[in-house]
Each structure stands twice: as structure tokens, then as C-alpha cells.
Amino acid sequence: MAADQPNIVLLFADDAGYGDFGFQGSQHFKTPHLDRLAKSGVRLTQFYVSGETCGPSRAGLLSGRYQQRFGYEEINVPGIMSPHSKLLGDEMGLPTHLKTMGNHLQDLGYRTAVFGKWHMGVADRYHPLRRGFDEFYGMRGGARSFFAYENLDQVAHENWIERDFENYQEHEGYLTNVIADEACDFIQRSDDAPFFAYVSFTAVHTPMQADPNDKDTFPQLEGTRRTAAQMMLALDRACGKIIDKLSDLGLSENTIVVFTNDNGGPMDTNGSSNYPLSGIKGTQLEGGIRVPGIISWPSKLKGNSVYESPLITLDLLPTFVAAGGGDPEAIEGLDGVNMLPFLQGKTDGRPHETLHWKMETRGAIREGDWKLLRYPDRPAELFDLAKDPAEQNDLARQHPEIVKRLFRDMFAWELELERPLFMLRRAEEGWSSRRTDQFRSPPAKEY
């Protein structure tokens, strides 16, 4: 089987703006390597995440299940936002009874590795090497400096750079570049088995720190927006280095390369832009949950093509398993579907007629092209995404029967869920206090 199994590389950005890529139409940000990847594969125009913040979104990605089903709804672990949550920090993580994407691919004979941000728990039992990955280089936490720390005693241990298990040593140079170099080294060494590389970049998450080599780029931009463009340039260059390594080793034709992001861009903290969508990270508007998506597999998927039906990051696990020779339908409880028959034109219709999002009392449901947004403090809103992807025209009053139907379907889904495992937070983290109407309108143009 190994001779036929594709290698798999998942390039995962952090807090990138929906519109901040050349293949997404940006006129300011430069992403030539990712633009080239998009031309080699399929661009997913309606690609979603299962959560509007980093931790829950990644829990869904790695499990192939709505994270609310196992209680990972509320919090970005580790919980370090208050004295109370500090006490629980080591207890927070992706539940250990769940098999991850790495576990399933190991079962199929893959060599697996994580590079960069883990963010699925800092306790040893949540460590990548105990969750289906053979190698790890990065940090257990969610954000850190892009440069080496001089005094680790002043830094939370989950943000130390770690190689495999408890081998801590700060990196040299700019972290985005180092992550790419480590991934390339893993690919170079993996010549005796198919491999899966989960390359989880920390860019373009805060802190806003650009590679010094890019300090003179984007003179037409200012402030945080300029720094974000420089960080994106470095991210694109790092992705290009990995893509070129595959080509140099003659692996491109039979390697699945996916590029996507963990949630919408925060905009107000990292200068990102979700244009032409409304909303930001932490909201369930399209700008908070719709993300760029590319999947390339030259030997199996037609290049320079577009797929326009809704897909979600939950679909990546069953897609990878199917591509690797496994049977995703034999995996109990998956919410994702194998994308390949749809992308290859072998199966008609939509992969998902219904998609869900939930955090605390806020919720959203998409059925067909109708999307309902439920709020704790004001009436629900209804949008026709086929005609209004920027969610500017609330149709709830014109279609009360659709509102009622979507509420019923939302409630029925919520009855299937577990109670949240981690419920300390929110006001201190800031997301729940944001009114989505503050970020209702997209920029008049890309800024």
C-alpha cells in the first residue's frame, strides 16, 4: 500500500485575514508561492472552520468532529486568563479518549509530525507524541515571540520551543523560517514510509514581529498593516520552501498539500483584512468562520480549478484517511466527509446541506444558502449567502418561517452535544463582550 499512498502536508496559518492573499484577490499583500499552489490545485471558495477561535477550531480539525460534541467549546487552552483558570490550565486540553488525525494516519502506516503551534493542552498527557504524532517541534501553547527568548524564567513553559518531549532549546532566527526548515528536514528524512506533516505556523498571530530581512518591504503601507504584510510575505516564503522541497525530491505529484487558516483574521489586533466579508475572529459572521482554502494533489485533482460548495475543516481528517487507503465511514462519530469524490466530480450535490457553529449562547446554522445567527442580547438575523455573502441585508422579518425552521434544527443539534468542559473566562478574554454589529460592515475596499 505504501507505494500508492500519498504524502500529506497541511500548511496551517494562524489568524490570517480572508482577503490577505493574492489568490484571494489582495492587491497589497504578496503571496506568490501560495498563489502558485492555488493554480496547481483546487481553490475552495466556501471553506469554513468549526470554531471562531484558535483552540476550538483546532480541536475540530484534529478530531474530525464538532468540538462541541466532546465539550471543547469555550476556551483557548491553556487557560491562563485569570487566577482561577491558571489553576485549571493543566487540566484543559483535547480529551485523551479521542483519536486524532495523526492517530488515524499512523494506523495506515504514516510517519507523522507537528511543527509549530500545538495549542491542544500543555499537560504531558496532551502532548503531540502521545496524540498520534511521531515527531514534534514547536510549542505546546498558543502564541509566543517569533524570536528566541533570552530569559526563559520569565516565559510560561508552554511557550518554550520544544523538540519531541521536554527537550527545550530556543531556536535561532525567525520562527516562521525555522518551522519551514524543520518541516523540510522531516520530509527529507521520510523516505521509508508515507508521511503526514502538520505545519502549524504561528504567523500572522500577534505579537506583530516581522522578519528583519523584510523591513524595507511594503513602503506603501503603514503601522500594523505593514507589519502584517511583511509577516505574510515570510509565511508565504516558508510555504514555498516546503513546496519546493517536495518538488526537489520528486514528491509533488503524489503529495496532498492543503493550505488553510484556523479562523478569521482579528483585524483590530493584527492588521488583517477579511474583505469582502463582514466580521472578525471571535464572531460567527462569515469573516470569523470562513477561511482561505487550497487543496493540491496533482496526480488526482485538476489544477487551476475552483470548488464553490461549502466545505469545512472537519472534512480534512476523512479526506486524508480515504486518500491513505483507509475507510472514513468506519470511524465512529465523524462529522466531516471525504471531499475527494466531490472535488473530482464523481459525486454531485453538496457535501454538507447543514453546518453548525456554537459558543456559549451564540450560535449559527447554515442550511443551503440560508444562514441564521442567534445572539444572547437581540433578535436573530437571517441572511441569504448566495446573494449576500457580506451579510448586510437581514431577512429575518421577511421570512419568519425560515427563522423558525432553522431555530428548530439548531436546537435539535444542540441536544446532541456535551456540556462545555471549560467554562471559566470570557469577559477577561474579550471575545464574548464584542458585539458583532461593531464589525458588521466590510471595508468599503481592501485597505
Residue 447: per-residue pLDDT: 59
What confidence tens digit (pLDDT) does each residue in 113-132 have? 999 999 999 999 999 999 99
Nearest to 52 by CA among 76, 80, 20, 30: 76
Quick one: pLDDT band at residue 440, thresholds 50, 70, 90? confident
The mean pLDDT of 357-378, rounded to a whole number, is 96
The percentage of the chain sitting over the pLDDT mark of 70, rounded to a whole number, equals 91
- Is 70 exceeded by the pLDDT of residue 142? yes
Residue 361: per-residue pLDDT: 92
Q: Could you tell me if 53 and 282 are in contact, meaning their C-beta atoms sit under 8 angstroms apart?
A: yes
Residue 91: per-residue pLDDT: 73
- Is 80 exceeded by the pLDDT of residue 441? no
What confidence tens digit (pLDDT) does each residue in 380-436 have? 999 999 999 999 999 999 999 999 999 999 999 999 999 988 764 444 444 444 445
DSSP one-letter code for 293: -
Residue 416: per-residue pLDDT: 97
Neighbours of 348 (CB within 10 A): 7
- Is 80 exceeded by the pLDDT of residue 2? no
Whole-model pTM?
A: 0.94
Question: Phi and psi (nearest 5°) for 287?
Answer: -70, -15
Quick one: pLDDT band at residue 141, thresholds 50, 70, 90? very high
Residue 3: per-residue pLDDT: 61
The CATH number for 355-439, chosen from 3.90.740.10, 2.40.50.140, 3.30.1120.10, 3.90.76.10, is 3.30.1120.10
Residue 89: per-residue pLDDT: 59
Residue 74: per-residue pLDDT: 75
The mean pLDDT of 142-156, rounded to a whole number, is 94
- Annotate 1-23 with b (16+ C-beta within 10 A) or e (fewer): eeeebbbbbbbbbbbbbbbbbbb
Does domain 7-353 bear CATH number 3.40.710.10? Answer: no
Give the pairing type, strands 305-307 and 42-44: parallel
What confidence tens digit (pLDDT) does each residue in 50-101 have? 999 999 999 999 999 999 999 998 767 654 443 444 445 577 899 999 999 9
Q: Where are the domains of the chain?
A: 7-353, 355-439
Residue 85: per-residue pLDDT: 43
Q: Could you tell me if 16 and 204 are in contact, meaning their C-beta atoms sit under 8 angstroms apart?
A: yes
Residue 422: per-residue pLDDT: 78
Nearest to 108 by CA among 271, 306, 328, 292: 328
Q: At what angle do helices 223-248 and 32-40 cross, to 10 degrees?
A: 50
Helices (H), 131-211: 175-189
The mean pLDDT of 302-313, rounded to a whole number, is 98
Distance between CA atoms of residues 395 and 381, nearest Å: 7
Residue 421: per-residue pLDDT: 85
- Is 90 exceeded by the pLDDT of residue 330? yes
Distance between CA atoms of residues 342 and 276, nearest Å: 26
Quick one: pLDDT band at residue 138, thresholds 50, 70, 90? very high
**In one letter, which amino acid is 48?**
Y
**Residue 290 pairs with which residues in a beta bridge?**
48
**C-alpha 174, offset from chain centre:** 22
**Residue 137 pairs with which residues in a beta bridge?**
115, 163
The mean pLDDT of 316-329, rounded to a whole number, is 98
Residue 82: per-residue pLDDT: 39
Distance between CA atoms of residues 239 and 108, nearest Å: 26
**If you average pLDDT over every residue of the chain, what do you get?**
92
Cα Rg, the chain, nearest whole Å = 21
